[in-house]
Amino acid sequence: MKTKYAVSLGLDCAMAGLLKDAGVRAFSSPFDWLDSSDAKTRVSLIESEFKDFLNIEDLEQIFIENDPQRGGMDRYRNNRTKLCFHHDFRSDLPFEEAYKKVAEKYNRRIKNFLNVYRQDYKVTLFVLDRFSQMDDQSIKDVFDTIKQYVVVISNCDTVDKDSYVQTKITDHIFHYKVNNTPTDVTEAFQKFKGNIPIIKQIILQHTKKSNFFDKKTYKCYKWLRKKLSVCVAKNEMSFSDKLLFRIFCCFRKKILFTPLVKDRKEDFSLYESLIKLCK
């Protein structure tokens, strides 16, 4: 069965990148860019609706960016969950200010995730298990309480590079063994993703590609664009088609909008105007 949403549970940022490459990643979820925590902990966080996910007292700095002018990130580990935040805490900001921005971002991602997760069998949760190589029984033990589809992809060097071995553990849990030898080593992140073509095949077996340009949607989009052009002109605002379409997609999916440019209030104003038009 192909579901409407594809969400990464990690176990690191490679899975989110692979979903994006396959054209099925509709929004950012809480686990997209985090690593170092096991699957059981992540399931527990989902079941508790992310209780204690980002308590300030649980955070420990594990890396300091020595040159804040480069716009780098300090790194923190959550000692409660063992999750590591490598891409979130701006080194050019005091910790309290950086933490506030990180908390706002993850609260938004949690709301988006829970919004689609609570629907009945509309989500496929993908796990790229590159290191621990869980067996079928341990996968069932960890994910059996999850009420959505789960696809676990693990590395197996004995599998042919152009194929995979599939096991249907339960009606909603699937295990794929792949030879995850990288197919593209031109960039570090591409190498990190591993066997991109085979994993993409697996992803597309379980998730529909994001496609907003059906006739009904495009007709609605054109109408809103015309109406919104008049609205923003009165308020001396400006917008690009790309920005409007991104906002429109977020609005249709009931996903909270994130500005393309950090702290750009005009983007939020545009989103608010769209909501008013649709009421």
Domain final residue, candidates 187, 206, 225: 206
State how far the alpha carbon of 46 is from the alpha carbons of 117, 135, 150, 157, 186, in Å: 9, 22, 13, 31, 35
- The pLDDT score that the predictor gives to residue 154 is 94
Residue 183 has pLDDT above 90, yes or no: no
Residue 234 has pLDDT above 90, yes or no: no
Total number of residues shown for the chain: 279
| C-alpha to C-alpha distance for 140 and 131, rounded to whole angstroms | 18
Residue 257 has pLDDT above 70, yes or no: no
Give pTM, 2 decimals.
Answer: 0.76
Domain final residue, candidates 156, 187, 206: 206
| C-alpha to C-alpha distance for 185 and 182, rounded to whole angstroms | 7
| C-alpha to C-alpha distance for 149 and 157, rounded to whole angstroms | 26
Residue 263 has pLDDT above 80, yes or no: no
- The pLDDT score that the predictor gives to residue 216 is 60
Confidence at 25, pLDDT banded by 50, 70, 90: confident
| C-alpha to C-alpha distance for 231 and 234, rounded to whole angstroms | 6
- The pLDDT score that the predictor gives to residue 191 is 86
Q: Are residues 139 and 66 in the same domain?
A: yes
Q: Are residues 237 and 166 in the same domain?
A: no
In which domain, by residue range, is 150 found? 5-206
Q: Report whether 174 contacts 189 (CB < 8 A).
A: no
Ramachandran sector of residue 34 (left: φ over 0; alpha: ψ -120 to 50; beta: rest):
beta
Per-residue pLDDT, averaged over 146-168, amounts to 94
Confidence at 262, pLDDT banded by 50, 70, 90: very low
Q: Are residues 247 and 164 in the same domain?
A: no
Residues 124-143: pLDDT tens digits?
Answer: 999 998 876 789 999 999 99
| C-alpha to C-alpha distance for 132 and 111, rounded to whole angstroms | 30
Q: Report whether 189 contacts 177 (CB < 8 A).
A: no
Residue 184, CA atoms < 13 Å, CB-side half-sphere = 11
Residue 261 has pLDDT above 50, yes or no: no
Mention every residue, 6+ apart, whose C-beta is less than 8 A from residue 171: none
Task: Please give the residue that has the higher pLDDT: either 112 or 270.
Answer: 112
Residues 209-222: pLDDT tens digits?
Answer: 755 445 566 666 66
- The pLDDT score that the predictor gives to residue 196 is 93
State how far the alpha carbon of 98 is from the alpha carbons of 39, 67, 81, 105, in Å: 27, 16, 20, 11
Q: Are residues 180 and 226 in the same domain?
A: no
Q: How many domains does the chain have?
A: 2
Residues 6-15: pLDDT tens digits?
Answer: 999 999 999 9
Q: Are residues 102 and 239 in the same domain?
A: no
Q: Report whether 124 contacts 151 (CB < 8 A).
A: yes
- What average pLDDT is seen over the chain? 83
Per-residue pLDDT, averaged over 166-171, amounts to 96
Domain final residue, candidates 150, 179, 206: 206
Residues 76-92: pLDDT tens digits?
Answer: 999 999 999 999 999 88
